[in-house]
């Protein structure tokens, strides 16, 4: 990443304090989990003194299907690893989650950072308020934001900035807000008659995302299928196990076991292998495996589409984490009330198609492993079924069932100031104007192969520390 940005402060070693600053880590309660579902971890990946308000831990319950997926992945060559928080993803292991260990509820930026800061005099939160446009002066300096508040009628007014404006509305709406304010590709702005402040052709371009898909089987262990189909069971679990003991399946975030690897080279063409090897470093995985204890199909609705035939179902999802395809975010209109137009362009690059087909074959290998035999309720793949055999048939299934892992990023990409496609520089400052930054997944220089939640927090911590140092000569507040 530091090569793309041109700054050593973005090296792995330099970023460690910023990764650690947000988090308070609590080890797993393995005494409450299945004996064959112990979660390994590296305590050195977290700070014991400087941790922030965001709680990271493990559920008090491991999915039953995960205890079968673990040896299956090991058998096909994806060996165990200690953790996914220390800089290496290769291998398989239970993953940590942003979960409050005492209550076994999800932790978020709202329940951690915002709740902790809620009493500060220098914080004012505007509820049900939509940012309409960034205001610039004649020197192209951001001086405020025009907003609209609801619900009691429409109140449009300007929030003025003493120092700078920081945009953080995500991979889709950060580029939208820049463009409606006059910062973006010249042609796109002209199309919507938006006066141009800065011609930045990279705004809304080069979107990177991870996607996943996978086959489903009938299994002999309890899965999400029962939770979706048996409301009395859910009520009993909520009233008993969850509410009173903070235990049971309702404490689990569903995808609790993961694995990463390079695609076995015998499953892809040599030319594809050469391109991937030249594009990504040796420790960058190309595919991810995610436990999904239930029927997935085409992701239309995971609760209403669970089969009601008396069987339990389980899926192993495969994710593409070295995508070559690039999407776009453009405008529907010059008004932020109209959501932007998103063209993710998933699987448009032939390499993603070839890797996707190879990944599907690996998912099937895991289900065909000796380790998996004891949990399968029958010998026939339920979805998409054994009739899907050829590469063309597999690719068609992938195209019809592909879903985002919600990792969209890079639409206001960080880069060197002389890079015409970069939108922000190493300090997250928008190039071509003053007093404006973008700090969220849209301003990533690249999308890392792991789940980017921690990278979002890291980037925010890094930029916040630099702002505090510049304005006050200190690195924490």
Q: Is 192 a catalytic residue?
A: no
306 is in an annotated binding site: no
Q: Residues 176-222: pLDDT tens digits?
A: 999 999 999 999 999 999 999 999 999 999 999 999 999 999 999 99
pLDDT given for residue 153 in this prediction: 57
Evaluate if residue 404 carries a pLDDT over 80: yes
Average pLDDT over residues 151-167: 88
Catalytic residue from among 18, 192, 210, 407? 407
Match 């679990």 to its residue by tokens: 237
Query: Which residues, listed in sequence order, are joined to residue 409 by a DSSP beta bridge?
Result: 208
Residues 6+ apart with CB under 8 A from 475: 465, 468, 469
Is the whole model's pTM more than 0.85, yes or no?
Answer: yes
Share of the chain above pLDDT 70, in %: 99
Q: Residues 361-386: pLDDT tens digits?
A: 999 999 999 999 999 999 999 999 99
453 is in an annotated binding site: yes
Sign of the four-CA dihedral 12, 18, 22, 25? positive
pLDDT given for residue 477 in this prediction: 44
Residues 6+ apart with CB under 8 A from 468: 474, 475, 476, 477
Average pLDDT over residues 19-33: 94
346 is in an annotated binding site: no
407 is in an annotated binding site: yes
CATH 3.50.50.60 in the chain, residue ranges: 126-205+410-446
Q: Residues 315-335: pLDDT tens digits?
A: 999 999 999 999 999 999 999
Catalytic residue from among 192, 210, 451, 472? 451
Evaluate if residue 1 carries a pLDDT over 90: no
CA 178 vs. chain centroid, Å, equals 22
CATH 3.30.560.10 in the chain, residue ranges: 63-95+209-404
Q: Is 472 a catalytic residue?
A: no
Burial of 232 per CB tally in 10 Å (0-12, 13-18, 19+)? exposed
Give CA–CA dist 228/86, Å, rounded.
35
pLDDT given for residue 283 in this prediction: 96
Q: What is the mean pLDDT of the chain?
A: 95
Give the residue among 54, 20, 56, 62 at the shortest CA–CA distance from 41.
56
Say which CATH topology domain 63-95+209-404 has.
Glucose Oxidase; domain 3 (3.30.560)
CATH no. for 126-205+410-446 = 3.50.50.60
């Amino acid at each position: 990443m530091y090569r793309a940005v041109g700054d050593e402060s973005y090296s792995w070693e330099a970023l460690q304090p910023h990764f650690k600053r947000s988090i308070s880590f609590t080890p797993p309660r393995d005494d409450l989990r299945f004996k064959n579902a112990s979660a390994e971890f590296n305590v050195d990946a977290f700070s014991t003194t400087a941790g922030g308000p965001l709680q990271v831990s493990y559920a008090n319950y491991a999915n039953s299907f995960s205890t079968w997926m673990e040896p299956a992945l090991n058998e096909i060559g994806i060996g165990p690893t200690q953790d996914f928080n220390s800089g290496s993803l290769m291998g398989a292991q239970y993953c940590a989650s942003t979960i409050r260990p005492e209550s076994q509820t999800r932790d978020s930026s709202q329940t951690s950072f915002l709740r902790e800061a809620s009493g500060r005099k220098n914080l004012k939160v505007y509820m049900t308020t939509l940012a309409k446009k960034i205001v610039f002066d004649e020197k192209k300096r951001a001086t405020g934001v025009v907003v609209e508040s609801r619900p009691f009628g429409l109140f449009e007014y300007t929030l003025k900035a003493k120092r700078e404006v920081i945009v953080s509305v995500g991979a889709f709406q950060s580029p939208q807000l820049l463009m409606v304010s006059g910062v973006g590709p010249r042609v796109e702005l002209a199309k919507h008659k938006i006066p141009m402040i800065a011609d930045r052709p990279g705004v809304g371009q080069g979107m990177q995302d991870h996607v996943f898909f996978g086959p489903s089987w009938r299994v002999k262990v309890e899965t999400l299928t029962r939770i979706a189909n048996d409301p009395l069971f859910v009520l009993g679990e909520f009233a008993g196990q969850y509410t009173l003991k903070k235990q049971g399946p309702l404490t689990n975030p569903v995808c609790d076991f993961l694995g990463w690897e390079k695609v076995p080279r015998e499953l892809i063409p040599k030319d594809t292998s050469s391109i991937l090897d030249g594009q990504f470093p040796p420790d960058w995985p190309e595919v991810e495996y995610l436990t999904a204890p239930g029927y997935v199909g085409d992701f239309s609705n995971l609760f209403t589409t669970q089969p009601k035939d008396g069987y339990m179902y389980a899926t192993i999802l495969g994710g593409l984490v070295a995508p070559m395809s690039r999407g776009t975010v453009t405008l529907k209109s010059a008004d932020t009330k109209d959501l932007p137009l998103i063209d993710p362009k998933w699987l448009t690059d032939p390499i993603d198609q070839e890797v996707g087909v190879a990944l599907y074959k690996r998912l099937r290998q895991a289900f065909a492993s000796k380790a998996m035999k004891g949990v399968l309720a029958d010998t026939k793949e339920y979805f998409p079924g054994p009739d899907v055999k050829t590469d063309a048939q597999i690719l068609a299934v992938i195209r019809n069932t592909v879903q985002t892992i919600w990792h969209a990023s890079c639409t206001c990409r960080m880069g060197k100031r002389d890079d015409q496609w970069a939108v922000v520089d190493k300090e997250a400052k928008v190039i071509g104007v003053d007093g404006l930054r973008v700090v969220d997944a849209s301003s990533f220089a690249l999308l890392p192969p792991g789940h980017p939640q921690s990278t979002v927090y890291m980037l925010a911590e890094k930029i916040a520390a630099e702002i505090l140092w510049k304005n006050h000569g200190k690195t924490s507040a």
